[in-house]
Chains A and B, each alone.
Chain A
Amino acid sequence: MEEKLKLSPDSFEALPQAQEPDNEKIAAPSLTFVQDAWRRLKMNKGALISFWIIILMMIVAFGSSFFINHSTLVKSAPQYANLPAKIPGVPINGFNGKLKVAGQWVDEYKQNNVPTGKYFILGTDNLGHSLAQRILYGTKISLIVALVATFFDLTIGVAYGIISGWRGGRVDTVMQRIIEIISSIPSLVIVVLMLIVLRPGMTSIIAAIAISSWTTMARMIRAETLQLKSQEYVLAARSLGESPFKIAWKHLVPNLSSVIIIQTMYTIPTAIFFEAFLSFIGIGISSPETSLGVLLNDGQKNFQFLPYQMWYPAIVLCILMIAFNLLGDGLRDAFDPKSRR
């Protein structure tokens, strides 16, 4: 027991600094919420392609306003009416100015004595407007209607949801009952009444869509707000005397952003559909104004003889809808990986 080990200080040796174990090092750079979601979205090919398609369509549609103005677009040119698509150098029937009439391909451009240099990439409609230009313009209008309606839908829905969830108690009960009543009225009825009162047109369609579709957003935001309300950082902000408005803006909205983004992505295609639907049955935007719904309505009248007049706008509309739906699904999976299967 008494024995003592006589160890000289030399027998101890400090480990070299360089050999510090790095098994606790964080390998990946830290990602913000948005970066993380974007990383996950990039892995979803369909959503990523849809994202770029939407960006491209928006750039083309909105960029076209520098080249196409509506006053020249509505000028009719009967000498060019109902010409099929013609792209120089493309010898495929259907894209070379030929149209199937009674089972035979006929060069409509020659028949109507169109000057040789003149051609229309997607053909013309029954008043001689270039279909390509009208589709570009119509896509722009449809997108504007959808985006503006969604913006209002989002603003009303988020504000209503946050107030309802934040205030709680009787205010919440009353506000929820109001939502319950509004959402049990078919949105079609609200839209139709609004259109009758406000006269058909872009503004009334936007108002009608916004008014009839905000309840879903408000419900989801309220449910999330109820959860967020009891978080420590909200309590901290409250005890520091932050005003409710600032708490909502600085703490709630950023934390609600995923819900807002996902819901928005589902509202946009619904709005596009509704605009096309209303214009198609003739109670929305009507000729000579142009939107995808108007083009479909115009094209449908001649579908039997000039199917391309409906096919092209229909394809554009379908691509737009599919892209928004796929992107919506992708964003939902990206922001909420738990829901992914």
Chain B
Amino acid sequence: MRKYLLKRVFYMILTLFLVASITFFLMKLMPGTPYSNQEKMTPQQIQIMNEQYGLNKPIWMQYLIYLGGMLHGDLGTSFQFSNQPVSYLISSRIGPSAQLGAQAMVFGLFFGIIVGSIAAINRNTWIDTTSTVLSIIGKSVPNFVLAVLLQYYIALKLGWFPIADWGSFSYTVLPTIALGVGPLAETARFIRTGMVDVMNSDYIELAKAKGLSRYGVVYHHALRNSLIPLVTLIGPYTVALMTGSLVIENIFSIPGIGEQFVKSILTNDYPTIMGVTMLFSAGLVVVILLTDIIYGIIDPRIRLSGNGD
């Protein structure tokens, strides 16, 4: 276990190091300087600025400084957003994004499990068919289309929820639904398949023979066993939520990381792009490691070995 963990952490760091290096050198290749958006500056001023930010040093030295700074949580200074440090930009905006992501994940998993198990219990009935059709639609309709429709018909026409911006819980409802429908549909399909499998197994037969109630069979035996593999989906869901946050935060004007990322891409704000890139990569790597460990703990059949694939 310890050997496995060490190995995983090593790969984690290697991955992050590679991402940092690749983004650094790609961004150095890009045209544009931090001063393109400032008022006219004399060459002397530019030279002073260069010295101040270490931009007159050779590239390899800048690279080392960048990596060193990253270890201390210093991600450089934004070109665009009033020259604030990137780490400040990110930390001031991570709250809404994290809350939204967590809510969407919980929403998707919770309702996905319910819909999926109801479909599996009522297999081959109209309930099953309806939920299958709905989950295909939920999986296929892009979240940004759904977001625009929700915003217009639920928020603007019906006025049930605020149209945009960030504030109390009611502001988060529509973005959460828009983000969470994809994971919901995926979870429902996954749970249904898993449960249909489990429902055919011998121990379910035994549980029924013991005289356990229908609810008892489903809750204690079928659901628990089909929940375990769901852990493996959390990684892909995290990616989907990160991707979705870009567009959902834009549509609902939520001051989060995704919205910041889009802005920084559109304005060629390289330090911010690098910072958010590192944040997303680190987030995913940590989530993958955590889910692998959790999977090993809750399902003893999966062995955490040092050389497993």
Chain A residues near B (Cβ < 8 Å): 176-177, 180-181, 184-189, 192-193, 195-197, 269, 273, 276-277, 280-283, 296, 300, 303-304, 307, 310, 314, 317-318, 321-322, 324-326, 329, 341
Contact indicator A187/B265 (Cβ below 8 Å): no
Report chain B residues within 8 Å CB of A193: 22-23, 26, 277
CB <8 Å contact, A186 and B250 = no
The answer, among A187, A195, A282, A317, for a CB contact under 8 Å with B145, is: A317
> Among the listed B152, B193, B261, B288, which residue makes an inter-chain contact with A341, where contact means beta carbons less than 8 Å apart?
B193
Contact A326 B30 (CB under 8 A): no
The 8 Å CB contact of B18, one of A181, A307, A321, A324, is A181
Tell me the complex Cα distance, A296–B250, Å: 14
B290 within 8 A of A: no
Known contacts A176-B309, A180-B11, A282-B266: does B140 contact A318 (CB below 8 Å)? yes
Main secondary structure of the interface of B (DSSP, over half): helix
Interface residues of B (CB under 8 A from A): 11-12, 14-15, 18-19, 22-23, 26, 29-30, 136-137, 139-142, 144-145, 148-149, 152, 156, 193, 196-197, 239, 242-243, 246-247, 250, 261-262, 265-266, 268, 273, 277, 280-281, 284-285, 288, 309
A189/B11 contact (C-beta < 8 A), A184-B285, A277-B247 known: no
A181 adjacent to B15 (CB under 8 Å): yes
Whole-angstrom CA separation of A303 from B268 in the bound complex: 29
Bound-state Cα–Cα, A180 to B19, Å: 13
Contacts of A187 in B (CB 8 A): 239, 243
Provide a sorted-by-A list of 30 A–B residue pairs whose CB atoms are within 8 angstroms.
Answer: A184-B285, A186-B280, A188-B239, A188-B243, A188-B280, A189-B19, A189-B281, A192-B273, A192-B277, A196-B268, A273-B142, A277-B247, A281-B247, A282-B262, A283-B262, A283-B265, A283-B266, A296-B145, A303-B152, A304-B156, A307-B152, A310-B148, A318-B140, A321-B141, A321-B142, A322-B136, A322-B137, A322-B140, A325-B139, A326-B136
Q: Which of A196, A282, A321 contacts B273 (CB 8 A)?
A: A196
Q: Assess whether B246 is in contact with A281, with CB atoms less than 8 Å apart.
A: yes
Residues of chain A within 8 A of B285, CB atoms compared: 184
A317 neighbours in B (Cβ, 8 Å) = 142, 145
Given A177-B11, A193-B277, A269-B140, check contact A304 B239 (CB 8 Å).
Answer: no
Closest to A200 in B: B265
Given A184-B15, A186-B281, list of 16 further CB < 8 A pairs?
Answer: A184-B285, A184-B288, A186-B243, A189-B19, A192-B261, A193-B277, A196-B265, A196-B273, A197-B30, A273-B142, A276-B144, A303-B148, A321-B140, A321-B141, A322-B136, A322-B137
Q: Is the CB of B309 within 8 A of A188?
A: no
Query: In the complex, which residue of chain B has the Cβ closest to the Cβ of A307?
Result: B152
Check if B136 sits within 8 Å of A325, measured CB to CB. Answer: yes
On whether the beta carbons of A276 and B142 are closer than 8 Å, the reply is: yes
